[in-house]
A and B are shown apart, each in its own frame.
Chain A
Amino acid sequence: MPLLSVKNLSVEYKASFGVVKAVDGVSFDVEKGEVFAIVGRSGSGKSSVASAIMRLTDIDGAQIKSGEIFYRETDLLKLSFDDTRKIYGKKISMIFQDPQSYLNPVIKVGKQIEEAVKVHNPKLSKSEIKERAASALKKVNLDDMQRIFNSYSHRLSGGQKQRILTAMAIINEPEILIADEPTTGLDAAVQKQILDLIKELKGKMGLTLIIITHNLKIAEKHSDKTAVMRSGKIIECAPSKEIFKNPKNEYVKQLTNVSYSLPEQMP
């Protein structure tokens, strides 16, 4: 049985000119311990899949029209909002693209990290919470804990922010980590650090990873299985080794050709 199984998922946005089908009947399985990549150009619906798994579609004004998302035996879409609270942040976590705006600007970073512990472990004492926060920061290779704890997010660099967001995501040792374009908006050197960090965490904690990216290189290099999306549909889903060596779909062929003709350093 797969750890996460998405079945026939459809997500719609209401736009001024009508309804936009961002995700149109998508299905895939993610096995435990796997690195699953979803690739596609911007607008292909890959982020909406992540939003649906995290039940965040409402915030963007989107709606899950149909489908099932099984985490083990539970259909996440059938749970009440309150019941999903026990799963997100504890079993399934997410880090987002462009870390700049994903930390609350008026709350000290330390409080935001501690909150992530507290919400799932209400019985822990203050010092125990602090201990966990400190060890999570260590895991993402942030040393200057005292300063970071007392800072507001605008004082930190993009790389630091993404590390903090990653620390918050893994603090309760989840099973699944969804990384939605985790390197967008960061400079090339930091991109590599963050990718290495995510891989390192996967090794240490036995995470199951879902990486969403427009970057085929990342998918090829780091993932076990890749799904290619185009206008809301998965057009090919196969082990990464096969799909990049010998794609069956014409569009995927074109994509991989473009990717290979680009110089190495392109992000």
Chain B
Amino acid sequence: MFTYIFKRLIYSIPIILGITVMTFAVMFFTPGNPADMVADFNIKVSAESKERLIKLYGLDKAWYEQYWNWLKRVVVLDFGNSFRDGKPASKKIAERLPATILLNVLSIILMLCISIPVGVYSAVKKYSLFDRVLTAIVFTCFSVPVFWAALMLMTVFGLWLGWLPISGLTSFEFGEFSFFEKILDLCRHLILPVFVSTLGSFAVMSRYVRSGMLDVLKQDYIKTAYSKGLSKRQVVFNHALKNALLPLITIIGLSIPGLIGGSFIIETIFSYPGMGRLGYEAIMARDYPVIMGIGVISAFLTLLGNIIADVLYASADPRIRYK
């Protein structure tokens, strides 16, 4: 197992290099550059100062030179300073990453806590009233656009009822709160974003669990279990559940990029201080250091997440052993 993990880590080095090349290439070939943003929209900026700006950022050098200079710094996690406010890009990302991970980990946990029981129950009670009602709810959740749901919930719970804050992660007075007030304040701010980002994935996941469970309940070893005299409950929980949940590990592994990258839509609507909004703002401003920093860090963490998912899968399913 350890040799397998070690090998996977070694193999991921060329992938990471490839990712840096791609990230750089996309940025390099995208029309428009940060000097345009400063110069073209401001008639006071002369052509010379634009030239100076281009020199300062090193944008006049050949692409391989730019790439090499950038790569040398990336190795020590220095993505350069943001073009917008001069802060180091890595610091800006480090500020935003925890908020996004908090939001997404919470919504993944909530999603699993709801969709597994719901999926299992509607598989076991296939075509019952519960199953039908649930199917209807699930398809509604699935078809409602996230931005619409977010705005509606904000209107109802934030404006009409005034129960929940509608933006940000903390209140203005956050600094003065006691420890428990701080926790409470965070929770209140998290409720709507977490709920909205759970909505769509819950619908998909509960269908996965349901169909996985239905499939497993038809397997031959389920007949063996019943013919031993086990109850329905024992068959479902001891024999079927583990088999039905195995594929979820892969699906959760695939959701890791979203976990790190954050959601542009949800974070923007709720003014949530996460990676998604940082990325959106950086792209709009052609803030190269930040965009590339986000690209590289997300890619790196995604790779790591996939390796972890594979290792977990191997330890959960005895039929898979990596060499």
Residues of A bordering B, CB below 8 Å = 54-56, 59-60, 81-82, 85-90, 93-94, 96, 98, 101-107, 115-116, 119-120, 152, 154, 165, 168-169
B224 touches A103 (CB 8 A): yes
Closest A-B pairs by Cβ, 3 of them: A89-B229, A152-B318, A101-B220
Overall SS of chain B's interface: helix
Contact B226 A104 (CB under 8 A): no
Identify which of residues 233-258 in chain B touch chain A, using a CB-to-CB cut-off of 8 Å: 234, 238-239, 242-243, 246
Q: Are A104 and B230 in contact (CB under 8 A)?
A: no
Find A106's partner among B226, B229, B242 (CB 8 Å cutoff).
B242
Q: List 17 A-B contacts (CB under 8 A).
A: A59-B226, A85-B229, A88-B227, A88-B229, A93-B228, A101-B220, A102-B224, A103-B224, A104-B221, A104-B224, A104-B243, A106-B243, A106-B318, A106-B319, A115-B228, A115-B230, A120-B229
A107 contacts which of B217, B228, B239 (Cβ < 8 Å)?
A: B239
A-B contact count (CB 8 A): 83
Chain A min CB distance to B153 (Å): 40
The closest CB in chain A to the CB of B226 belongs to A56
Residue of B nearest to A108 (CB): B318
Query: Whose C-beta in chain B lies nearest to the C-beta of A86?
Result: B229
Q: Are A116 and B319 in contact (CB under 8 A)?
A: no
For A154, the chain B residues whose CB sits under 8 A away are: 318-319
Cβ of B318 and Cβ of A56 under 8 Å apart? no
Q: Report A63 CB to chain B, min CB distance, Å.
A: 14
Q: How large is the interface on B (under 10, 10 to 19, 20 to 34, 35 or more residues)?
A: 20 to 34
Q: Which residue on B lies nearest to A56, using beta carbons?
A: B223
Known contacts A102-B223, A104-B239, A106-B243, then 4 further A-B pairs from the complex at CB < 8 Å, ordered by chain A residue: A59-B226, A106-B318, A116-B229, A119-B229
Which of B217, B223, B226, B229 gathers the greatest number of chain A CB atoms within 10 Å? B229
Q: Known contacts A106-B242, A154-B318, A154-B319; is A116 also within 8 Å of B223 by CB?
A: no
Q: A96-B224, A152-B319 are in contact. Are A101 and B232 (CB under 8 A)?
A: no
CA distance A11 to B218 in the complex (A): 18
Q: Is residue B46 contacting chain A, with contact meaning CB distance below 8 A?
A: no
Q: Is B3 an interface residue (CB 8 A)?
A: no
From known contacts A105-B318, A106-B242, infer whether A82 and B231 are also in contact, taking CB-CB under 8 Å.
yes
Q: Which residues of chain A are near B239, meaning CB under 8 Å?
A: 104, 107
